[in-house]
Amino acid sequence: MSGERIVIVGSGQAAIQLAASLRQEGHEGPITLIGDEPGLPYQRPPLSKGYMKEGDPERLVLKPQSFFERNAITLCDATRVASIDRAARTVATDDGATHGYDQLVLATGARNVRPPIAGGTHSDVVELRTLAHAETIRRRLADTRHAIVVGGGFIGLEFAAMARLAGARVTVLESADRLMARAVSPAISDFVLAHHRAAGIAIRLGAKVARIDDEAERVVGVTLADGTGIEGDLVLVATGVAPNGELAAAAGLVVANGIVVDETLATGDPAISAIGDCASVPGPLGTHLRLESVQAAMDQARHLAKRIVHGTAAAYHAVPWFWSDQGALKLQIAGLTSGADRFETIRQEELVTVIIGYRDGQLASVETINAPGEHMAARKLLGREAPVGVDELRDSGFDLRALAKGQAGSRDRSVASA
């Protein structure tokens, strides 16, 4: 097993973690990472946060050059994998090379998608996924007077907060009736909306952008479906992503909102696995889901490394968690809000809130704003073997931290309810 040739397609968060974990687990064979972006692999979360201010690409690097040398990991950057030959167990790259594998791992991530909006072919219309995108935006931001953000999801709102702090006027246009609707409870949407509006960001809900308007090679604003015109000189389109599954589909693997894998993260071909943003993994109640988060990329990579090196067939299971920094707000989510049938606010102060989501009377998610202690406790509780019921939470006075501490030894109700 440990002499096998492993080829990883992609060189993002999941790919790098996998390469590191394979060596940590004792894999001795060749590891080759093939990624189509140039340079050393980097982390994406700061691109919409601190990087806009600092602009230091060195701080984004996931592993230095010495890591690849020390661990005998071959990194082929700026190289695209064009096809997979499953019978021959090779991949072909766009520079004409062929790489043989015993195990192939697809960690191809996702790419931005843009809804049908007319116009907007100029450089003032930007997107944000890569370091190159972030650099373009950072340079433009210095002389932007009014930034228009199409899409009130995590990335659009993180950028909006940064742009506002940089002194620009900012308008966010969201077509749904609330912010971040796919991933957070209505109460969190409302809390964040109120905060951003108070910080001077204009936010329009139910606002469908029909056209990006330009004049003499410059963007001058957008027009909404109802005919309303909004003037602006920079437009960020942040309307979600689609998984990069074409390579897998062309090789005959099942792709349905991501490359479909089983609970061991293998595709229908036992020699090919998929992890990270591109993978559709088994979720609760027989569903399949794709999690676009650093946690999922890293936990799936660690899990897969164990299977490849030790042949363990354990099912992948990890508590999903996520964060988003938006100005003065640190939003953290543990568990899955999508499966919750009821939400309850258990703490609310000016810049702080904690909201519990239940599914069938059991703890399913905890959303926190500026409450990192509760977030960490929630991750422990959601990872507990016995589900946490509504009665147990009530008995503890909704003290998540005390409940989580009780988990370590014999749970002490007197502490929990003190």
Note the residues at the interface with ligand FAD (CB under 6 A). Answer: 9-15, 34-37, 44-45, 47-48, 80-81, 107-110, 128-129, 155, 244, 247, 276-277, 292-295, 297, 322-324
Which lies closer to ligand FAD via its Cβ, residue 168 or residue 294?
Answer: 294
Closest CA relative to residue 194, chosen from 374, 350, 367, 365: 350
Strands 81-85 and 90-93 turn out to be antiparallel
Cβ–Cβ < 8 Å for 222, 233: no
Least separation in angstroms between residue 336's CB and ligand FAD is: 14
Which lies closer to ligand FAD via its Cβ, residue 64 or residue 206?
Answer: 64
Least separation in angstroms between residue 181's CB and ligand FAD is: 18
Least separation in angstroms between residue 145's CB and ligand FAD is: 23
Which lies closer to ligand FAD via its Cβ, residue 73 or residue 230?
Answer: 73
**142: buried, middle or exposed (CB in 10 Å: 19+, 13-18, 0-12)?**
exposed
Cα–Cα distance between 205 and 193 in angstroms, integer? 10
Cα–Cα distance between 246 and 308 in angstroms, integer? 24
Least separation in angstroms between residue 16's CB and ligand FAD is: 8
Which lies closer to ligand FAD via its Cβ, residue 34 or residue 234?
Answer: 34
Cα–Cα distance between 76 and 35 in angstroms, integer? 6
Which lies closer to ligand FAD via its Cβ, residue 53 or residue 342?
Answer: 53
Q: How many CA atoms lie within 13 A of 268 on its CB side?
A: 10
Cβ–Cβ < 8 Å for 124, 233: yes
Least separation in angstroms between residue 167's CB and ligand FAD is: 21
Least separation in angstroms between residue 347's CB and ligand FAD is: 22
Can you read off the two tokens belonging to residue 180?
Answer: 């971040």
Least separation in angstroms between residue 309's CB and ligand FAD is: 20
Q: How far is CA 10 from the centre of its chain?
A: 16
Which lies closer to ligand FAD via its Cβ, residue 239 or residue 396?
Answer: 239
Which lies closer to ligand FAD via its Cβ, residue 277 or residue 367?
Answer: 277
Cα–Cα distance between 72 and 99 in angstroms, integer? 16
Strands 98-100 and 90-93 turn out to be antiparallel
